Amino acid sequence: MECPFDTKPRWERRKDARPQELLAAAIDLFVERGFASTRLEDVARRAGVSKGTLYLYFENKEELFKAVVRTSIVPVIGEAESSVAEFEGHSADLLRKVMMDWWERIGANKVSGIVKLVTAEAGNFPELAKFYQDEVINRGTRMISSMLERGIKRGEFRQVNITQMTQVLIAPMLMLVTWKHSIGPCERGDLEPPAFLATFLDMALHGLLPACATAEPTAA
């Protein structure tokens, strides 16, 4: 007769799930406490494993943080890059799709707290800041710039300073993340992030369209 209770420790019952459980616990604690205040023993405890088990997968807290970014944020950027490369429609529709998808996949989820963490603690952890710059910020910036270049080349956007316009488009996304993890939990007010982004994009895209544009992008 089988025992109705599984008395094995969690880390014995779910060996294949160990890295995923550790990464999920790390995201929770990094977002809740920040990088400096997150301890590896607390991550292990929340994941239901021993601290020694954690070290089997991650050498230190820095490597754990990098794994969190590489499994939760970097793949989303890769998918967006593929979407940009394969898109055949109007560049305004492409830009809208990428930015709204970013909010749905990253901004609206707990992992967006990692973005705020980097912003807040980059000065104290320059090596992690450089890692995040290389693997997330630079790729995201290049992708947005490429969409602007695409639109200008196809005559769908007017000539603009691509470097400056890229930063203009990034700024509201960073603002929404900061709001969500700072002011938002205390006083949500009337700000609805999807509606905010839609309004911003309406304004930005009309500013990008040529004055004599004959083809309007699809309505949001």
The helix (H) or strand (E) run that includes residue 11 is helix 10-13
Full set of structural domains in the chain with CATH: 72-207 (1.10.357.10)
pLDDT by position in tens, the chain (length 220):
444 444 444 445 455 558 999 999 999 999 999 999 999 999 999 999 999 999 999 999 999 999 999 999 999 999 999 999 999 999 999 999 999 999 999 998 999 999 989 988 999 999 999 999 999 999 999 999 999 999 999 999 999 999 999 999 999 998 888 888 876 555 556 678 889 899 999 999 888 888 765 445 555 4
Which pLDDT value is given to residue 35? 95
Which pLDDT value is given to residue 151? 97
Secondary-structure breakdown of the chain: helix, strand, coil percentages, each rounded to the nearest 5: 70, 0, 30
How far apart are the C-alpha atoms of 122 and 130, rounded to whole Å?
9
Distance of CA 32 to the CA centre of its chain: 16
Which pLDDT value is given to residue 52? 92
Residue 211, classed as helix, strand or coil, is: coil
Closest CA to 100 of 200, 216, 206: 200
**109 phi, psi to nearest 5 deg:** -110, 165
How far apart are the C-alpha atoms of 107 and 63, rounded to whole Å?
23
Closest CA to 151 of 142, 141, 164, 162: 162
Torsion of CA 14, 18, 21, 23, to 10 degrees: -170
Indicate the pTM of the whole model.
0.82
